[in-house]
Structure 1
Amino acid sequence: MTSHFPKEETYNLTSQIRRASSSIPTNISEGCGRNSDKEFNQFLNIALGSANETEYLLILSRDLHYII
């Protein structure tokens, strides 16, 4: 989807969306490898933060008319 964004957004909004969205499953999988529920929960909270960031960035993209 971000490949259709304006070229001037390549290193800004596009990059932020890609980093934030890819960190969601990355943090979940990293948390699965931890030794305690407390550590796993910490990584789930980080993943949730990344999901919230991604949601906001997508709303912003819609408001800027980059996506429908």
Structure 2
Amino acid sequence: MWTSENRGFYDRSKLRYPSDVTNEEWAHIAPLIPPAKRGGRKRSVDVREVVNGLMYIVSTGCQWRAVPKD
């Protein structure tokens, strides 16, 4: 519900994209991601950025005008 108390909870103006996960959302998601396997290479990607990318595609459908320019 959009009340003055809840407005800050839903505010995404400080995120790079509106689809990016907040720190609170990431705290719920991170434990579900398995750790990197031992003996292999270190991860070369930030898993949170991968999740942000997936959320972007899910929320926008990736229309041509919505493709990031960065």
TM-score by length of 2: 0.27
More helix by share: 1
Higher-Rg structure is 2
